[in-house]
A and B are shown apart, each in its own frame.
Chain A
Amino acid sequence: MKLIIAIIQPSKLEEVKEELYKQEINLITVSEVLGHGRQKGITEVYRGAKESGNLLRKIRLEIAVNQNFVEPTIKAIVKGAKTGETGDGKIFVLDLEECVRIRTEERGSVAIG
Chain B
Amino acid sequence: MINSGDTAWVLMSAALVLLMTPALAFFYGGMVRRKNVLSVLMQCFIVMCVLSLHWVLIGYSLSFAPAKGFWGGLQWFGLNGVGLEPYADYAGTIPHQAFMIYQCMFAIITPALIIGAFAERMKFSSFLVFTLLWATLVYNPLCHWVWGVGGWLRNLGALDFAGGTVVHINAGIAALVTAIILGKRVNLDKNIPTPHNMPLVVLGTGLLWFGWFGFNAGSALAANGLAVNAFVVTNTAAAAAGLSWALIEWMRNGKPTIFGVCSGAVAGLVAITPAAGFVSVIPAIIIGLLVSVFCFAAVTIIKPKLGYDDSLDAFGVHCIGGIWGALATGLFASKLVNPAGSDGLFFGNPKQLLIQLTTVLVTIIYTLIVTLIIYKLVDLFMGVRVKKDEELIGLDLTQHHERAYTVLE
Task: Give chain A's interface residues, CB within 8 Å of chain B.
Answer: 10-12, 14, 18, 32-34, 42-46, 55, 57
Contacts and interface: CB of A to CB of B under 8 A. Distances in A.
A18 B190 contact: yes
A42 B407 CA distance: 16
B187 A44 contact: no
A12 B191 CA distance: 13
A14 B191 contact: yes
Given A11-B392, A11-B393, A14-B191, A44 B407 contact: no
B402 A45 contact: yes
B402 A11 contact: no
Contacts of B408: 34, 55
B370 interface: no
A45 B187 CA distance: 29
A57 to B, nearest CB: 6
B378 interface: no
Contacts of A46: 402
A82 to B, nearest CB: 13
26 contacts: A10-B393, A11-B389, A11-B392, A11-B393, A12-B392, A14-B187, A14-B190, A14-B191, A18-B190, A32-B407, A33-B407, A34-B407, A34-B408, A42-B393, A42-B397, A42-B401, A43-B401, A44-B397, A44-B401, A44-B402, A44-B403, A45-B401, A45-B402, A46-B402, A55-B408, A57-B407
Interface residues of B, number: 12
A32 B403 CA distance: 15
Contacts of A57: 407
A31 to B, nearest CB: 11
A68 B187 CA distance: 31
A113 to B, nearest CB: 24
A57 B35 CA distance: 11
Contacts of B407: 32-34, 57
Nearest to B391: A11
Nearest to B396: A44
A45 B401 CA distance: 6
A53 B397 CA distance: 14
Contacts of A45: 401-402
Q: Which 8 A-B pairs have the closest CB atoms?
A: A11-B392, A45-B401, A44-B401, A14-B187, A11-B393, A34-B407, A42-B397, A14-B191
Given A18-B190, A43-B401, A55-B408, 13 more contacts: A10-B393, A12-B392, A14-B190, A14-B191, A33-B407, A34-B407, A34-B408, A42-B397, A42-B401, A44-B397, A44-B403, A46-B402, A57-B407
Contacts of B187: 14
Interface in B171-198: 187, 190-191
Interface in B393-409: 393, 397, 401-403, 407-408
Nearest to B186: A14
Nearest to A18: B190
Nearest to A47: B402
Contacts of A34: 407-408
B234 to A, nearest CB: 39
B187 to A, nearest CB: 5
A55 B389 CA distance: 20
Nearest to A34: B407
A106 B397 CA distance: 46
A55 B406 CA distance: 10
Contacts of A42: 393, 397, 401
Nearest to B187: A14
A44 B397 CA distance: 7
Nearest to B394: A11
B396 to A, nearest CB: 9
Contacts of A14: 187, 190-191
A76 B401 CA distance: 32
Nearest to B401: A45
